[in-house]
Amino acid sequence: MRTLLLLAGCALALTVTGARADEEDLPIDKVPKPILDAVKKRFPKAELKEAAKETDGDKVEYEVTIKDGDTKIDVMLTPDGKITLIEKMIPTKDLPKAIADAVEAKYPKATVKIAEELIKVTDDKEAIDLYEVLIETADKKTLELKLNVEGKITETEEKKGNDKDDKDEKKDKEKKDKDDKKKDK
């Protein structure tokens, strides 16, 4: 019976793991031309920082990270260069009131560490779809919140600090803090 349960658990783990998207880092010079052209057209003054190719079954997407002025932006594109999503870091002070109020109401005394606007692109029209906010609660838990534009929290995920996204977010926060200090001088 124990062996059967162990095998069932392994099968479930393999199924869940197999369903995740594979991400392959790409040097900028290996990114397909339609992808680079689309990013450069939309963000002509931006500096290309890094890129990745994400594969989930038959679906392929490219993610290009850029720096536009002081703003870090991740751009998601189809293989033919169509932009589908723009994830734009924003200063926490620039969060819309509805978003800031919702976070404060649900997590009083929490500190907002990182804030992003997620802009959905459909038929070349951009519209803010939701906000992602990384907070540290009063009891020192790190949570990622997703909120719709009206300020309703639609998803909450606790971050344990051990996956790649958590490390990237921490690095982004440290860089943002350093940039903010330079501006204050």
Q: Looking at the structure, do residues 110 and 75 belong to the same domain, yes or no?
A: no
CATH number at residue 106: 3.30.505
Q: Looking at the structure, do residues 169 and 84 belong to the same domain, yes or no?
A: no
pTM over 0.85: no
Q: Looking at the structure, do residues 107 and 81 belong to the same domain, yes or no?
A: no
As given in the structure block, the two tokens for residue 50 are 């890094």
Q: Looking at the structure, do residues 106 and 141 belong to the same domain, yes or no?
A: yes
Determine the pLDDT at residue 97. 96
Q: Looking at the structure, do residues 58 and 98 belong to the same domain, yes or no?
A: no
Q: Looking at the structure, do residues 101 and 179 belong to the same domain, yes or no?
A: yes
Residues forming a β-bridge with 112: 135
Buried (b) or exposed (e) across 151-171, using 16+ Cβ within 10 A?
bebeeeeebeeeeeeeeebbe
CA 36 to chain centre: 20
For residues 114 and 169, the answer to whether their CB atoms sit within 8 Å is yes
For residue 104, being part of any structural domain is answered with: yes
CA-CA distance, 68 to 48, in Å (whole number)? 9
Give the sign of the dihedral formed by CA 117, CA 119, CA 98, CA 69. Answer: positive
For residue 9, being part of any structural domain is answered with: no
Query: Is residue 46 very low, low, confident or very high in pLDDT (cuts 50, 70, 90)?
Result: very high
User: Given a cut of 50, is residue 1 above it in pLDDT?
Assistant: no
For residues 133 and 156, the answer to whether their CB atoms sit within 8 Å is no
Determine the pLDDT at residue 168. 55
Determine the pLDDT at residue 9. 40
Determine the pLDDT at residue 172. 55
Q: Residue 36: which domain range? A: 21-88
Q: Looking at the structure, do residues 50 and 132 belong to the same domain, yes or no?
A: no
Q: Looking at the structure, do residues 110 and 74 belong to the same domain, yes or no?
A: no
Q: Total structural domains in the chain?
A: 2
